[in-house]
Amino acid sequence: VPPTEKKKGSKLFALKTDFLKNDEDSIQKGILDHVEYTLARTKYNFDSFSAYQGSAYTVRDRLIERWNETQQYYTEKDPKRVYYLSMEFLMGRSLQNAIYNMGLKDEYHSALLELGFELEDLYEEEKDAALGNGGLGRLASCFMDSLATLKYPAWGYGLRYNYGMFEQGIYDGYQTEVPDYWLVAGNPWEIERLDVQYTVRFYGHVTERKSSEGNKFDWEGGELVQAIAYDAPIPGYATTNTNNIRLWSSKPHKEFDLDAFNGGNYLSAVEAKQRSENITSVLYPNDNTYSGKELRLKQQYFFVAATLCDIIRRFKKNHSNWADFPNKVAIQLNDTHPTIGIVELFRKLIDEEHIQWDEAWQIVTKTYAYTNHTILPEALEMWPVSLIENLLPRHMQLIYGINHRFLLQVTQKWPGDIGKMRSLSIIQEGDEKKVRMAHLAIVGSHCVNGVAAMHSELVRNAVFPDFAALWPNKFQNKTNGVTPRRWIQQANPGLSSILNKWLKTDKWVTQLECVKDLKQHINNPELIEEWKSVKQFNKERLADFIHKTCGIQVNTNALFDVHIKRIHEYKRQLLNILGVIYRYLSIKKMSPKDRANVVSRVVVFAGKAAPGYVMAKRHIKLINSVAEVINNDKEVDQYLKVVFIPNYNVSIAQVIVPASDINQQISTAGTEASGTSNMKFTMNGSLIIGTLDGANVEIAEEVGQENMFIFGLRTHEIAGAREKMRQKEVVIDSRLQEVFLNIELGTFGPPEIFKPILDSLMYNDFYLTMQDFPLYLDAQAEVDALWKTQDAWIRKSIINTSSTYFFSSDRAMKEYAEEIWNIEPCEVETSDYRRY
C-alpha cells in the first residue's frame, strides 16, 4: 500500500488485542528472543542465569499484558480501591510464583527442557527481593498476593531501596553484615516509570498570607527531591487480575542551584544533589525497634508524599468532588511508619485544595486505617518535635492544630482531667517534646486493628485503654494470615499432591477451608505412609541444603526441630539453646543403654540480628559456639546436631518450613503480636512447641492444644513473674544451674564472651527465660515421647495441616475488605480466553 493510502492510527487498536500466546513454542521463542535482544547474548553463552533472565522477561511480558488489562478495567469501572502503605515488602523470589499463579508451569517446564534447562533449577538463579526485615514485610507481600487472587482493586506502595536487608555471614560464630546490592544484575520484575515522577520538598519555611477566605499558608524553599515510580506487577492466582506494588526511588531534582554553580561551587552543588539519592538507599535493618534517625523520617515522608500525589492524581481523573474521596479511596497504614501521610493528606486538602478544616479532617479520618503490629515500647515511634519542625515545618503546625482539637474532645469526655490529656495527647511533654506517632495514627484513622486476637485485646485494654474508652468502635482485630500459594503449593509440592489426591480437587489453593476434609482420612494407612514419605523427601532436601551451605551432614531420620525468625531477646532463641545444652549434657551422662532411648534431633536455627543489637548478636555467637562443640563430639553424633543456617530469607524459609517436625514459637507471653511463621509451619504439618502468645492462641483453638506442645507462663502471669524476678525470689532450676556452670567453665569457649548473657538472666531476666525453663524442658520431653509413636505423630501432623483455613491471608484480606475498607472484588472480564 503506498504510504499515502495508509490511514493514520488505523491499526492502533487492532494491534492492542494481539496478546502473547502461552503455548510451549511461543514461550520458547520468547525466551530465545529475550536472550538475544534483551540480554544481547548468543547461544554460546546461554547459561543458566541467562535462561532464568530470558524466562523472567517472558513472564514479565505476560504480566504486563494482564496488568494493563486490569488497570484499564479498574479505570473504566472506577471501583473503590485500597492502597496498602508499607515501608517494607519482603517479596522473595518471583519467577516460580508468577508462573504458578498464571497457570503456566507445564508450558514453561517443557519449553525450557528443550533448551536444556530444568525449570526448578532456574528458580535457584533468582536473588530474593528482600525489601523488608521480617514478619511485617512478609505479611505485606502475602496480603498483596491474596488481594490480587481475590480480585480486589488494590495497590501496594513502598520504597525501592537500593540496598535491601543485609546479607548475613557467620565467621567464627559471629554475625557479619554485607550490604545487599540486590539490583546489581538487573531486576526483570520491575517496570521503571520515568513518566511517573513527583517532586517532594524537605525543610524550608512557612509563610502566612491573608486571603479573602482566611489565612493561607505557603510552604516554600528547602530542598526538592524527585520520586520516580517502579512497578512490580502482582498476579493473582488463576485470574487475569494483576495488581501492582509501586515503589519509589529518590533522584536529584532537575532544578539546579545556579548561585552555587556560578560561584564556582559546581562540585559541592553536585554533591548536594547526590545526597537526595541517599533517601531510598538503604532499608533500616531494625525489626521491632525504632531508630530515631532523621534519614528514616525523610524516607517516611518521601514515601507518603509521592504516594499521595499519585493517589490523588488517579482520583482526580474521574472525580472533582472531594467528599467522594473516602468512597473511592481506602488507605491502610502498615504500622506507624507511614503515619505522617495522615498529616500530608490533610495539608494537601487544606493548603492546596482549600478545603475547610473540619471537612478536610473528616475526609482524612474516613480514608485512613491503621494496623498496629507491636506493643513493645522500644518499637513505638516518637519523633522529636524539633526534628519534624525543621524537616516538615508545615506538618508540625498542623499536628499542633490536630492535637488541639483532639484534646478538646478529651476534655469533653473527661472534664478537667489533666492526667487524661497528658496521657492521650499526640505530643509527649518532657525535656524533649515528641510526637507520638501511634497516637497520631489512632486520632487520624477511622479504624485501628491489632494482628491477632490476644494482641488486639492488649492494644485495646492495656496499651490504649483511654482511646478505646473514647472511641470504642474504632478498635478491631484482624488476625494475620499467609498465602497458601507460596507456603504450600510452591514450597511443598509433595504436600500439594497429597491434598489434590485426597481432597479430589485443587480448590484448596484458593479455598483453604477444603483442607478440613482431610480429617476424614486420618486413620487411612495409605495417607499416613504418603505423609511420611513427603516429609522425608522435604527433610532430605533440607539436609542437602544444610550440607551445601554449612558443610554439616545431618541424619534425616532425626526429629527436625526448627527455630527460624529474627534474633530478638523476646523471641527467646536463648531459651532454646539453653535447652539444647541441657540435652547435650544429659546425653553425655547417659549409659549406652539409656542412649538407645534418646530421640535423635537436628536443631535448626536461622535468623538475623539488627547490626546494632549487641545482645542478640551474642546469642548468635552462643548458638554457634554450642553447635561447634556438639557437632564435633563423636559421642553424641547420632543423637544431636545443631545447625545455624546463615542469611535467613524467604527462599530459605521455603526449604526449611516443609522439612520441620516441630517449630519453636516460644516468645514470652504477651510480647509477640502475632507471628506468621507459626501459620506457615502449621499448614505444612509441623507441630508447634510454644507459649500461649500471639496467634499461637488462635492456632491452639483451631488445631487443639492436644496437637501442639503448649507450655509456659500465661500473659496474665507475666507481671507477677517479673515482680518475683525483681524481688530475687526465683529459685533457679537445678538443670539450668548445671547449664550455667558449663558455660562458666568454658565448655563452649571462653566464658567471658558469654558472661553478659548470663548476667542479663541473673540481674534482669525481663523475658523470664529462667522461670519458663523447667516448663520448656517438660514440653520438650513430651515431644520426645510422642515422636516414639510415629503414627500418632503423623496423625497430629495431618490434623495441623487440616486445621489451617483460618490462617490463610485470603481470609484476612476478606475481613479487611468487608470490615475496614468497604471494597468489593472487581473481576476483570478478560477479552482473551487464554489467560483465564
- The nearer residue to ligand RUG, 437 or 559, going by C-beta atoms, is 437
Residue 287 touching ligand RUG (CB under 6 A):
yes
Q: Is residue 571 annotated as a catalytic residue, yes or no?
A: yes
Q: Between 451 and 558, name the residue whose CB sits nearer to ligand RUG.
A: 451
Could you tell me the smallest distance in angstroms from the CB atom of residue 130 to ligand RUG? 15
- 701-704 CB contacts, 8 Å cutoff, 24+ apart: 702/803, 702/804, 702/805, 702/806, 702/807, 703/799, 703/800, 703/803, 703/804, 704/799, 704/803
Only segment of 151-159, 163-171, 319-327, 667-675 that touches ligand RUG (CB under 6 A)? 667-675
For the chain, the residue count is 836
Catalytic residue among 571, 617, 621, 796: 571
Catalytic-residue membership of 566: yes
Rounded distance between C-alpha atoms, residue 31 and residue 61, angstroms = 11
Q: Please report, as residue ranges, which positions from 680 to 699 form the binding site for ligand RUG (by CB under 6 A).
A: 694
Q: Is 680 a catalytic residue?
A: yes
The rounded distance, in Å, linking the Cα atoms of 183 and 393 is 35
Scan residues 107-166 and list those touching ligand RUG (CB under 6 A): 134-136, 139
Closer residue to ligand RUG, CB minimum distance, 123 or 821: 821
* Other C-beta atoms lying within 10 Å of the C-beta of residue 497: 13
> Which CB sits closer to ligand RUG, 337 or 795?
337
Handedness of CA 812, 658, 699, 136 (dihedral sign): negative
What percent helix, strand, coil does the chain show, rounded to 5? 55, 15, 30
Return the residue of 175, 676, 686, 803 that touches ligand RUG, per CB under 6 A. 676
Contacts of 362 (CB under 8 A, 6+ apart): none
- By the 10 Å C-beta count (0-12 exposed, 13-18 middle, 19+ buried), 614 is classed as exposed
In the annotation, is 676 catalytic?
Answer: yes
Distance in Å, CB of 156 to ligand RUG, minimum: 15
The CA distances from residue 488 to 130, 371, 414, 691, 732, in Å, are 20, 26, 52, 25, 42
Q: Is position 647 an interface residue for ligand RUG (rule: CB under 6 A)?
A: no
Of 565, 618, 621, 796, the catalytic one is 565
In this complex, which beta carbon is closest to ligand RUG, that of residue 685 or of residue 694?
A: 694
Residues 20, 61: contact at Cβ < 8 Å?
A: yes
CB 713 within 8 A of CB 771: yes
**Is the Cβ of residue 374 or residue 682 nearer to ligand RUG in the bound state?**
374
Helices (H) then strands (E): counts for the chain: 34, 24
The DSSP bridge partners found for residue 2 are none
Nearer to ligand RUG, 363 or 609 (CB): 609
- Compute φ and ψ for 506, nearest 5 degrees: -105, 20
Contact 680, 672 (CB under 8 A): no
Let me know if 565 is a catalytic residue.
yes
Round to whole Å and give the CA distance between 301 and 307.
10
d(CA 804, CA 655): 20
Residue 181 DSSP code: B
> Minimal distance in Å, beta carbon 368 to ligand RUG?
18
User: Torsions phi, psi of 577, nearest 5?
Assistant: -70, -30
How big is the site for ligand RUG, counted in residues (CB under 6 A)? 18
| Terminal alpha carbon distance of the chain | 38
670 binds ligand RUG (CB under 6 A): no
From candidates 674, 771, 797, 804, binder to ligand RUG by CB under 6 A: 674
Distance CA 605, CA 665 (A): 12
Q: Among 76, 288, 93, 309, which Cα is nearest to 196's?
A: 309
Residue listed under C-alpha cell 497516637: 439
Q: Please state the closest distance from residue 698 (CB atom) to ligand RUG, in A.
A: 12
Please pick, from the candidates 60, 373, 436, 439, the single residue that binds ligand RUG as defined by CB under 6 A.
Answer: 373
Identified catalytic residue from 566, 608, 617, 722: 566
Calculate Rg over the CA atoms of the chain.
Answer: 28
**Which 3 state secondary structure label does DSSP give 254?**
coil
Q: Is 570 helix (H, G, I), strand (E, B) or coil?
A: helix
The 8-class DSSP code of residue 174 comes to E
Of these residues, 676, 682, 715, 804, which one is catalytic? 676
Rounded to whole angstroms, how far apart are CA atoms 743 and 676? Answer: 33
Catalytic residue among 394, 572, 621, 680: 680
Shortest reach from residue 636's CB to ligand RUG, in Å? 34
Report the residue number, 296 or 328, with the smaller CB distance to ligand RUG.
296
Q: Could you confirm whether 75 is annotated as catalytic?
A: no
Determine, following the binding rule CB under 6 A, whether residue 673 of this chain makes contact with ligand RUG: yes
Query: Per CB under 6 A, which region of 100-108, 246-254, 671-679, 727-735 contacts ligand RUG?
Result: 671-679
In whole angstroms, the minimum distance from the beta carbon of 816 to ligand RUG comes to 13
Position 672 contacts ligand RUG (CB under 6 A): yes
675 near ligand RUG, judged by CB under 6 A? yes
Q: Compare residues 22 and 299 and give the one whose CB is closer to ligand RUG.
A: 299
Which residue in 335, 561, 661, 810 binds ligand RUG (CB under 6 A)? 335
Report the residue number, 335 or 661, with the smaller CB distance to ligand RUG: 335
Residue number of the CB closest to ligand RUG reads: 135
Please give the residues from 576 up to 615 whose contact with ligand RUG meets the rule CB under 6 A. Answer: none
The residues with which 329 forms a beta bridge, in sequence order, are: 81
Q: How far is the CB of 673 from ligand RUG (least distance, A)?
A: 4
What's the closest the beta carbon of residue 665 comes to ligand RUG, in angstroms? 10
Residues numbered 450 to 479 that lie near ligand RUG (CB under 6 A) are 451
Tell which phi-psi region holds residue 173, choosing left (phi > 0), alpha (psi between -120 and 50) or beta: left
Query: Minimum Å distance from CB 568 to ligand RUG?
Result: 8
Give the interface with ligand RUG as residue ranges (CB under 6 A): 134-136, 139, 287-288, 335, 373-374, 379, 451, 480, 672-676, 694
Supply the residues annotated as catalytic: 373, 565-566, 571, 676, 680
